[in-house]
Amino acid sequence: MDFVIISVIGVLFGCGTYLILQRHLLRVVVGLSLYSHGANLALMVSGGLTRGNPPLLTTEAPYVDPLPQALVLTAIVISFGMTAFATVLAFRVRQVYGSDVVDELAGGEE
Amino acid sequence: MMAPDLFILFIMGPVVTAAFLAAFHKRDLLQRGVSLTVSLGLWGLSVVGLLSILQNGIVVLRMGNWAAPYGIILVADVLSMTMVVLTMTVAVAVVAFSLRTVEHAHQEHFYYPLFFILIMGVNGAFLTGDLFNLFVFFEVLLIASFALMALGSQPGQLRETVKYVVINLIASTFFLISLAVLYRTMGTLNMADLAYKIQMTSGELDPTLTILALVFLFVFGTKAAIFPLYFWLPGPYFQPAAGLSAFFGGILTKVGVYAIFRTFTLIFRHDPSVTHELLLILAALTMLLGVFGALSQMDMKRILSYHIISQIGYLILGIGLFTPQSLAGALFYMVPYVLAKSALFLIAGVVQAATGSTHLKAVGGLQSHSIPLSTLFLLAALSLAGIPPLAGFFSKFIVLQAGMEIGRYGYVGIGLLGGLLTLASMLKIWNGIFWGEETGDRRPVPLQPLLPGVVLLVFFIVGIGLFPGVLYSVAQVAAAQVSDPRVYIAAVLGPDVLW
Amino acid sequence: MSGFLLISLILLPLLGSLVAWPERWRQRLAPAYSLVPILQLLVVISFWTTVQAGEGIQCSWPWAPSLGLYLSFSLDGLSWLFTGLISGVGVFVFVYAAFYMADDPTLSRLYRFLLLFNAAMMGVVLADNLVLLLVFWELTSVSSFLLIGFRSHRAAACEGASKAFGLTAIGGLVMLFGILAVYAEHGTFELSVLLADSTSISTAAGLCFLVAAFTKSAQFPFHIWLPSAMEAPTPVSAYLHAATMVKAGLYLIARLTPLFADDPTWSATVTSVGTVTLVWGGVLACKQVDLKALLANSTVSQLGLIVLLLGLQTEIALFAAVLHILNHAAFKGALFLTAGTVEHEAGTRDIRQLGGLRPLMPTLTVAATLASLSMAGLPPLGGFLSKELFYESVLEADLLLTTLAVAASCLTFLYSFIFFHGTFFAPAFHSPQQQHASSHAEQHSTLGLIAPIVVLSGLAVLFGLVPSLAEALVTPAFTVMHGAPPLLHLALWHGLTPALWLSVLTVILGGSAFLLRQRFLGAIREHQAAYSFNRVYSDSLTGFTRLFQWTRALYMTGSVTDYVRYLLVALIVGLSLPLWYFFGVTPPRVDMGGIALPEYYELGLAGLMAGAAVMCCRAHSRIVLVLTLGLVGALMSIFFVLFSAPDLALTQILVEAVSLVLFLMVLRYFSIMVVVPQPHISYARGLNIGISVGIGLLVSGLLFAAIVGPSLPSPIPSYYLSNSHLLAGGYNVVNVILVDFRGFDTMGEITVFSVAVLGVLAMVELGVRGQRPLGTMFMVSFPSPILQSFARLTLHLMLVFAIYLLLRGHNAPGGGFIAGVLTAVAMTFQMMAFHVESFSQEMPWKPLHLVVVGLLLAAGTGLGSLLVGYPFLTSAIGHYSFPLLGEIELVTAMGFDIGIYLVVVGTSFGIIRTIAED
């Protein structure tokens, strides 16, 4: 299963990259979200994937490695904060520029 | 002797301050008074902390009282504490400058809270001994810098913030990927544990480690703005208010450099003939392309932004040469350079305040307007260009001496060439802004009150230049600590760790 | 004692330069700075007996011994000669400046810069540590820079200053290279040690020092800075650019001569560069029409002469070199001051407009003529003595050198005559301006502007008339260089030597050239060289700047898309090599044990996820884009359910819900249903697809390498699993890790989260307001009673559920974050049902306050443990029994979790409300 998931991660990163390289800011933000989904899956893979062994001590052993899950949770929260910020940024850019086409934001190098 | 637990204050102090200031974000006097007091207090504390470490050795803090590698630990060695002291020094100068320059609306919209969160992130990144925790602190400083960069929501600001956000979020994602690979392979995230495990293996992990080293170099190199990852920097660093530019330009990229410094001395030292050789090549290109870019610019702040890149090259050069002296040199390089860079950005802010522009064509003849300002500029700029007896000279001197000793003449030559071109662009600013016919507006702004922060920074530049031995002895202790990873490992995992 | 006296030579001017007189008396007290060189001169004179006896003075203090740096100074005959020049000429220049700039308010600043320079120069000639020498060396460059650009409003002054600084800085840096090379070879920076061991220094290092000396002493092809430096006020030109600073290079060569006595490369380089400079400088000097430019080029030429002599290294040549250093200081100092006085009195330095000043300024005429004749090398003046020795030295060498020497001397003769004849004796150039200037001169000619010139010229005469005086002054210096006292003795009359015949020849040729000058001088002056070194310098400056601008414009496009491309391409390129090495060169043994085979529904899930991701790329409208992203998130959540991560599943689905709300609210501002056009430039699209595929493969490859490659066992999971309840009092290990084992991560995480709301608030509230939303997507614009009562009901249910999740988090899936997002969702629903404004009235607190309280609570819980002597975030466990709930384990980490809860509620809801209210 791990190999299937790393292929999915590859697809997520590929699609994420494609979207980040698009002209519209909202797509860029969506691309970044796909990136973070991919990274979260990668962290999950790093602990090894097992079915039905949640790290709850109230259930029966064995348990899956709990550390990657904790890391993913932290990463989800952080990327949620980042995405929220980026979304609002895109929205403000749209408001101020009247456009969210990245190319039209080019400049700033004098 | 400072109680080890107090070291947490460099991280938690700013957070608590930030939360407090965010609650009272409309109270003008409170905002400014508390900011100045706290930054001064933490600055003093950081100096005491550094002295204490120099005397008593590395301090290790277990967060939640959990031992490494299970819990997160903070490690304050000479390298990281020097960085903290440097950060706090710049922070004091920036706060002092901000007291007079920050717009009221910005202040009400969390300028100071965000700034303190930024400090928290930076200090946390310097002090943590855990790679995932380093990621978290990177994110802390990133989001604070995003918010600060966009503060004001002017079109140019938003535009550059977009670039900055996108690039940094990409780098952060790859940070996570590399952590995933790392955890899968090494089974730990603690840096000392990692270093220990690598020391105990006999080469079968080397190909994986090389791959990891390169991914980490990509991640940290993007933050540090080394070749070929620096392209994002000049635009965004030009935009924010001068006080912030000073902190961004002075400190933020150095977090990336610090991370390279730490990981490539502690962890990725399995095959220097590949990894560190690569660092040297990138360092040379970074030095040259940065300064080429600077020479092509006609605006003071833009020139300074490109110089950030160029100077990063010297730091990487010191790390790449990978001898005790070159590492000491890299740390020695860091201090005056950060001070000078921050001072110069602040001076650009004063110029902006006085004339409304920092473009070389739009401003001129400021020397007659303010002798103190021009003197401060000259001292900082000449230090950056490595003119003796200012501190920057000894920076260059030590790094290049280290290169000379192991026969890397080519890199020494490139370093010297970079110095010459740096001087050329500093003279360009001087001629454009301070000499020449008096052009540009002269706003009726009293400049003297803007200067205390700059004076503080330049004071240290001159002081280090006159007494280079003091900082060098600190740098030597730091280099001794980082060039033998066993010191760090033993401090974290306990002296009875099995070798 | 003598050591302190020695460094007083440096400290006096250094302290003097720091003295700033109060504004009121600044102008009147400025001349008091002249006391410094006078005192210095007395100190130098006091060293006379020591030096005469062939002894020296050394003193040394540690500076940074670990770097090999010492504050070591030494005085011997050679440095004594230079200290004498610096202080002696200094006295005249300082006095002169007081009169020259009597009414100029910048006089005081000029003095302070001059003193800074004086200190630096003293340092150069006294330093024994090479790095210390370099420090002072560069300080002379800096002070020279400030002095050349003294009249900073003039563009030419700024350019000249930069040119001088830039070119001499090349030398300084190359010298640094040489110094480092010497240290790498010999392990010391101390000159005295190097000289005492008479160690052989590698020629390469030697050449580095030579480059430094050549830049400083304006040798070909670095000579171009010196004429440009004439923008400096004339006293500065006389002091720095004639008498002292330009001689620092000569000092360096002289100082190192003993080390390279047998080095043919050194000798050949020095001689040839000196010769070229000598001749070329002479040619350029003759061309000039500006008095100072003439003198500047003549200085270049004369410096070349001395360098040539130093390169020959014979006894006569070395003696001639030191003697000429002395003579040149005297006559060139006098001539520069003359140019200053003439300009001051006549208002111009253009030789074509000058003339006929003899009757107006008789004293000056005599003094300047004598100095010029000394420069021309006529007996019985000092210049004659050194010229004779010069001829003798080249006669010893070879014919070519002799020929060039004679030619150069003729040029010297010519420009010397042009100088004094054109200024004083030529028929007056009668322009109205000139008339005015002349009358002006008569009235204001002051003693102070003439006396220093008279004394300096007097010295030039004296050195000729009393050769023993000059001999005594330079002998100690010569002895240091040569290693033995000189055998020759100076005299005006040596008999009919070949050298004398050459002098006669010089006078004949030079004299005829002077008489015939009208024939060719005009043509030479008119002639504009097609390509001068100055042009090379300025063209290469602009050329490089253009090149840099052009290349920068190529890649610094300002488009973030491009920057991302660079970044990702760099990543692909950088990583493909080690990955290839990993798989291709050292293929790992693939161990499939422990890796579960996929079930069919898992394959389906994976396929759906990949499909949804691809759909995102193909989404043509924004709403589809956002919804597809939500789909990916939901599938992620299912994945977490399948693979033993209930906490993650809950978190993910809630986060996805809130994100969706946020996205939809933001979409009100976009024209959501409009089809987004694909990029029409196909090559860019191809590039994007290429990069995307590359990155996808790269990431998969990385993870593949991690899975199949070797790995080390980890004790960490088992530690957490066995100690989670035992030591941390929780059954939900993930939650325990988050709030306890790695609680510090969470501290950072909620900080990030809090900042997001601060940033959003600031971003939305500041700046221009921009357009209104295009549509009210789902904000109900009128109250809907059914929705409202439904919302009220669900609010309370959801809140209770959230509290439940929060409290049980330590032991079962839940916790502060999940509870917080759930609460935010409930409140958002509430806000949608009611009007935003009325909702705001109903909830008087601000989300910001929740965030602050939460952050402080979390931090406070952690810091609390410090008070009881435990590290930050240390958790304590207690058992309490509550009514209804039974016994509950209460952990201080709970406080931390509540903090998280508050932050999450505040932030999630805060962001949404901010957008909704906008």
Q: Kindly report, residue by residue over B171-197, the tens digit of the pLDDT.
A: 999 999 999 999 999 999 999 999 999
The pLDDT tens digits for B264-308 are 999 999 889 999 999 999 999 999 999 999 999 999 999 999 999
Closest approach of C598 to chain A, Cα-based (Å):
4
Q: Is residue A107 part of a domain?
A: no
In this prediction, residues B51-79 reach a mean pLDDT of: 92
Residues of chain B positioned with their CB less than 8 A from the CB of A75: 176
DSSP H/E element including C887 = strand C886-891
DSSP structural state of residue C888: E
Q: Is residue A57 part of a domain?
A: no
Per-range mean pLDDT, top range of B201-205, C469-473, C767-771:
C469-473
Residues of chain C positioned with their CB less than 8 A from the CB of B106: 762, 766
Instruction: Choose the weakest-confidence range: B201-205, B396-400, B452-456, C112-116.
Output: B201-205
Q: Which of B125, B144, C657 is nearest to A85 (CA)?
A: B144
DSSP H/E element including C35 = helix C35-46
Q: Is residue A108 part of a domain?
A: no
Q: Are B322 and B70 in contact (CB under 8 A)?
A: no
Residues of chain B positioned with their CB less than 8 A from the CB of C579: 211
In this prediction, residues B367-381 reach a mean pLDDT of: 91
Residues of chain C above pLDDT 70, percent:
91
Peptide bond into C380 cis (omega under 30): yes
3-state secondary structure of C762: helix
Does residue C42 register a pLDDT over 50? Answer: yes
Q: Is residue A109 part of a domain?
A: no
Chain-chain contact of B177 with A39 (C-beta, under 8 angstroms): yes
* B residues 214-253 lying closer than 8 A (beta carbon) to C: 214-215, 217-218, 222, 228-229, 231-232, 234-235
Any chain C CB within 8 A of the CB of A3? Answer: yes
pLDDT at C198: 65
In this prediction, residues C53-67 reach a mean pLDDT of: 90
CA angle A63, A65, A69 (to 5 degrees): 115
CA dihedral of B448, B454, B458, B459, whole degrees rounded to 10 = 70
Residues of chain C positioned with their CB less than 8 A from the CB of A55: 644, 720-721, 732-734
Distances (CA, A) of C569 to B384, B456, C530, C736, C745: 32, 42, 47, 40, 32
Sign of CA dihedral C193, C194, C195, C198: positive
Number of domains in chain B: 1
Q: Are C221 and C310 in contact (CB under 8 A)?
A: no
pLDDT at C432: 47
Residues of chain A positioned with their CB less than 8 A from the CB of C658: 80
Q: Which of C31, C30, C36 is nearest to C14 (CA)?
A: C36
Chain-chain contact of B166 with A20 (C-beta, under 8 angstroms): yes
Chain-chain contact of A110 with B302 (C-beta, under 8 angstroms): yes
Instruction: Find the CB nearest A96 among B136, B155, B160.
Output: B155
Confidence of residue C378 (pLDDT cuts 50, 70, 90): confident
* C residues 158-187 lying closer than 8 A (beta carbon) to B: 158-159, 161-162, 165-166, 169-170, 173-174, 176-177, 180-181, 183-184
Between helices B253-266 and B78-101, what is the axis angle to 10°?
A: 180
Does residue C223 register a pLDDT over 60? Answer: yes
How far apart (Å, rounded) are the C-alpha atoms in residues C805 and C819? 6
Rounded to two decimals, the ipTM of the complex is 0.96
In this prediction, residues C708-715 reach a mean pLDDT of: 88
Q: Are C174 and C212 in contact (CB under 8 A)?
A: yes
pLDDT at C836: 65
Any chain A CB within 8 A of the CB of B302? Answer: yes
Neighbours of chain A (3+ CB pairs under 8 A): B, C
- What residues does C74 pair with on adjacent strands? C58
Does residue C45 register a pLDDT over 80? Answer: yes
Per-range mean pLDDT, top range of B375-379, C105-109, C530-534, C826-830:
B375-379
How far apart (Å, rounded) are the C-alpha atoms in residues B330 and B311? 11
Residues of chain B positioned with their CB less than 8 A from the CB of C851: 19, 22
Any chain A CB within 8 A of the CB of C774? Answer: no
How far apart (Å, rounded) are the C-alpha atoms in residues B297 and C394? 51
pLDDT at C347: 83
Amino acid B396 reads: K
Query: Which residue has better confidence, C170 or C522?
Result: C170
CATH code: domain of residue A23:
1.10.287.3510
The pair of structure tokens assigned to A79 is 């990327």
Closest approach of C714 to chain B, Cα-based (Å):
5
The pLDDT tens digits for C68-111 are 999 999 999 999 999 999 999 999 999 999 988 888 888 899 99
Chain-chain contact of C556 with A109 (C-beta, under 8 angstroms): yes
The pLDDT tens digits for C267-322 are 999 999 999 999 999 988 988 888 899 999 999 999 999 999 999 989 999 999 99
Query: Which residue has better confidence, C588 or B420?
Result: B420
Closest approach of C694 to chain B, Cα-based (Å):
14
DSSP structural state of residue B204: T
Distances (CA, A) of A67 to A44, A88, B305, C380, C704: 9, 32, 40, 96, 20
Contacts of residue B194, defined as CB under 8 A and 6 or more positions apart, other chains included, come to: B131, B182, B186, B188, B266, B267
Confidence of residue C676 (pLDDT cuts 50, 70, 90): low
How far apart (Å, rounded) are the C-alpha atoms in residues C374 and C642? 102
pLDDT at C887: 53
Any chain C CB within 8 A of the CB of B438? Answer: yes
pLDDT at A18: 94
Query: Which residue has better confidence, C875 or B402?
Result: B402
Instruction: Choose the weakest-confidence range: A92-106, B293-307, C481-495.
Output: A92-106
Which one of B104, B208, B307 would you mutate to disrupt binding with C, by most C Cβ within 10 Å of its Cβ? Answer: B208
Any chain B CB within 8 A of the CB of C699? Answer: yes
How far apart (Å, rounded) are the C-alpha atoms in residues B85 and B119? 11
Does residue C777 register a pLDDT over 50? Answer: no
Chain-chain contact of A46 with B184 (C-beta, under 8 angstroms): yes
pLDDT at C140: 94
Instruction: Find the CB nearest C606 among A4, A47, A74.
Output: A4
* C residues 598-617 lying closer than 8 A (beta carbon) to A: 598-599, 602-603, 606, 609-610, 613-614, 616-617
Question: What residue numbers bound the domain in which A82 lies?
Answer: 2-49+64-101
Number of domains in chain A: 1
Summary mean pLDDT of chain C: 86
DSSP H/E element including C57 = strand C57-64
Residue C114 phi/psi, 5-degree rounding, is: -60, -40
Confidence of residue C445 (pLDDT cuts 50, 70, 90): low
Kindly identify which residue of chain B lies nearest to residue C893, measuring between CA atoms. Answer: B64
C-alpha count within 13 angstroms, C-beta hemisphere, residue A93? 27
Any chain B CB within 8 A of the CB of C751? Answer: yes
Any chain C CB within 8 A of the CB of B394? Answer: yes
Kindly identify which residue of chain A lies nearest to residue B69, measuring between CA atoms. Answer: A67
Question: What residue numbers bound the domain in which B271 lies?
Answer: 4-493
Q: Are B239 and B160 in contact (CB under 8 A)?
A: yes
Closest approach of C49 to chain B, Cα-based (Å):
33
What per-residue string of b and e applies to C102-121 under the rule 16 or more CB within 10 Å gives b?
eeeebbbbbbbbbbbbbbbb
pLDDT at C746: 94
Chain-chain contact of B170 with A32 (C-beta, under 8 angstroms): yes
The pLDDT tens digits for B218-251 are 999 999 999 889 888 988 888 888 889 999 999 9
* C residues 834-863 lying closer than 8 A (beta carbon) to B: 848-849, 851-852, 855-856, 859, 862-863
Q: Which of B277, B328, B332, B334 is nearest to B311 (CA)?
A: B334
Does residue C210 register a pLDDT over 90? Answer: yes
Any chain B CB within 8 A of the CB of A67? Answer: yes
CA dihedral of B368, B370, B372, B374, whole degrees rounded to 10 = -60
How far apart (Å, rounded) are the C-alpha atoms in residues C635 and C618? 18
Residues of chain A positioned with their CB less than 8 A from the CB of C724: 57, 66
How far apart (Å, rounded) are the C-alpha atoms in residues B418 and B291? 7
Kindly identify which residue of chain A lies nearest to residue C695, measuring between CA atoms. Answer: A14
Q: Is residue B499 part of a domain?
A: no
Residues of chain A above pLDDT 70, percent:
93
- What residues does C71 pair with on adjacent strands? C61
pLDDT at A104: 67
Chain-chain contact of C703 with A67 (C-beta, under 8 angstroms): no
Distances (CA, A) of C805 to B481, C645, C816, C828, C898: 47, 16, 8, 19, 11
Q: Is residue A77 part of a domain?
A: yes
pLDDT at C119: 95
Kindly identify which residue of chain C lies nearest to residue B201, measuring between CA atoms. Answer: C712
pLDDT at C730: 84
In B51-104, DSSP assigns E strands to: 59-62, 73-76
pLDDT at C838: 66
Residues of chain B positioned with their CB less than 8 A from the CB of C10: none
Any chain A CB within 8 A of the CB of C763? Answer: yes
Amino acid C176 reads: L
Residues of chain C positioned with their CB less than 8 A from the CB of A89: 763
Residues of chain B positioned with their CB less than 8 A from the CB of C756: 143
The pLDDT tens digits for C230-280 are 889 999 998 988 888 899 999 999 999 988 888 889 999 999 999 999 999
Chain-chain contact of A56 with C724 (C-beta, under 8 angstroms): no
Any chain C CB within 8 A of the CB of B5? Answer: yes
How far apart (Å, rounded) are the C-alpha atoms in residues C398 and C766? 82
DSSP structural state of residue C495: -
pLDDT at C780: 47
Kindly identify which residue of chain C lies nearest to residue B203, measuring between CA atoms. Answer: C710
Instruction: Choose the weakest-confidence range: B332-341, C486-495, C804-813.
Output: C486-495
Any chain B CB within 8 A of the CB of C700? Answer: no
The pair of structure tokens assigned to C603 is 């394959």
